[in-house]
Structure 1
């Protein structure tokens, strides 16, 4: 049989077209590369294509008939097994029955076209074209309380999404981290009874994520009869740091220096969020409120973690509380006063 399309979509062999649509939508919400934030992108892309191919084959009566009779290899090659079991040959007979579609040629549909068709494109959901290939985030926003898309006749409703705060340190958001969160939820067993289960959700925090970033776990809320379980959404929040504050992709720190250091220079020493020790020379005269910018020592940029924002050091000049007469005289002499 080769690839088991039924197992990929997690449906039985008698699944209806509506069953296939529901299974596809559920899995696409998890694995579409633009929606998927918690897994490896290449893995998500491969899984999404596999799900789309399974739906393409099983939702097409001709493809499904050939697949059910002869398997994936025959479907794609156009050759069916001989009744003797000694190999494949084109447009032959199988168990004394003619090939169901002698002129059939396997032509797989584009994964993004399938996605646009089932989730609705800006052209009304027909699929294809650039509009059909863009990720339809609007579907998820507009259908949190509505279950199926507007084109579906299903009356099953979806429970409202549940949002939780995910507190992250600045170090987590700088370096990336893995957080495991234990949840308790109700599920329906095979007999329809409600029972409590505990589950561990894993979130891979990517370097550069910002406050407000949302991570969605589709249908991980409580299950109830007649209601699609809610999505669980974690919203990133940023814990205060002792030294640095974040300004978009920049890191900002305050540095107090004495009046003498402001006039004569100083070496600012600090430890970065990833544990490196930096020594930054201040060679120009500093006025209160001045900033020194150190390029590429800010936060990673989430779309390209190899790039970073800047580190901005804000200076506060500390003036002496008093000067002796001798010190004042010395300053007049050095600074050229009378």
Structure 2
């Protein structure tokens, strides 16, 4: 028994053109392989069947033959007296057929075959049907913005858009070979739909992690549209961010299509923006690090030694015994600052000194200072 195209799309035999288009959109989005990676083979089969059903029922000639003879009659060919189906196959509104198809599927009378028959009808590729259908809404391919610093990876890219193509498809802005078109050039061009705004979230990272680099795994909760009902369904997903040593505050990491799926089928991007967590010792200035050391008056005059714990856990010795340190004076330690994320070179560690003067002196201390310094 042949396929029931009406049942596949979920429409009645009296369904009009708009009902068929609406049903196809719903079923095609539901069974698209990109959306069913966990059941790839089933989705591939269903997706092809849905495309085939739409290709037949959206064409008056094919549909008339199918209604009378079923799938077998359509693919084997009805008697010539019942109508050849003509050479104007393809989808209504496309000027006939697919690019390079010269008017879609052509039914040509031949000798032999059931009832005199004609060349058998062969369904088009489901992806081609899908592209052409959504192109009719005036969309270009859904290319992702790449004007941010970094882009996240993994997961299903982008969302499904009834007005903007499918993720991973090439741009559909100019549909060559589609007959008629606009502007007299034979191309089919319409303005791309406006991309929904990205969901922006802060990403606080410690100075230690920005110094060494690290991997962050974040669980995000998003809303996807159920393919059957269209209702939003809340799901969780883990996104992985490989933090590169030297990233600065304001660095953006974008995950295309990993946000909420909107009613029109488009999915929002998620964009994380790096924030530096405050550090108790170090402050960042570009590729340099800055810190303060407080000295007693004796240390400022006679010398000092300090052990500083660096951001990667090393012990760095800083000392002075050759000169007097004044309050507000600075010294610089080369190659002990932050790494540059592009060059890998490190900045400097800048140390500012604060000298604590005593609040009072005993008479004996005063006399002693006078003897030494007088």
Indicate the TM-score class for this superposition, using the shorter chain for normalisation.
0.5 to 0.7
The runs of 4+ residues in structure 1 deviating greater than 6 Å are 17-21, 59-62
1:186 aligns with 2:223: yes
CA deviation string 1:136-183 (max 9, x = no partner): xxxxxxxxxxxxxxx8424x4432222111111111111112111111
Computing the radius of gyration from Cα coordinates, the structure with the larger value is 2
Q: Which SS does the other structure have where 1:173 is aligned?
A: helix
Count of residue pairs brought into register by the alignment? 222
Distance 1:54 1:230, change over 3 A: closer
Task: Determine the C-alpha separation between the residues in 2 that align with 1:279 and 1:38.
Answer: 40
Q: What 5-or-longer segments of structure 1 have no aligned partner?
A: 1-6, 41-52, 63-150
Match of 2:306 in 1: 268
CA deviation string 1:211-242 (max 9, x = no partner): 11111111222112215222211111111111
1:177 aligns with 2:214: yes
CA deviation string 1:276-309 (max 9, x = no partner): 001112232110100111011011111122x111
TM-score between the two structures when normalised by the length of structure 2: 0.52
Is 2:148–2:254's contact at 8 Å kept on the other side of the alignment? no
Q: Which SS does the other structure have where 2:301 is aligned?
A: helix
Distance 1:227 1:190, change over 3 A: closer
- 2:143 pairs, out of 5, 10, 25, with 25
CA deviation string 1:32-75 (max 9, x = no partner): 697544469xxxxxxxxxxxx9959xx9989xxxxxxxxxxxxx
- 2:335 pairs, out of 284, 289, 296, with 296
Task: Determine the C-alpha separation between the residues in 1 that align with 2:369 and 2:266.
Answer: 78
- Of Structure 1 and Structure 2, the greater strand share is in 1
Task: Determine the C-alpha separation between the residues in 2 that align with 1:319 and 1:209.
Answer: 40
Match of 1:210 in 2: 248
Is 2:148–2:253's contact at 8 Å kept on the other side of the alignment? no
Q: What 5-or-longer segments of structure 2 have no aligned partner?
A: 1-32, 38-125, 155-167, 178-188
TM-score between the two structures when normalised by the length of structure 1: 0.57
Match of 1:219 in 2: 257
Match of 1:311 in 2: 349
Task: Determine the C-alpha separation between the residues in 1 that align with 2:234 and 2:153.
Answer: 27
CA-based RMSD of the aligned residues comes to: 3.3
Distance 1:323 1:197, change over 3 A: same
- 2:296 pairs, out of 232, 239, 258, with 258
- 2:283 pairs, out of 216, 228, 245, with 245
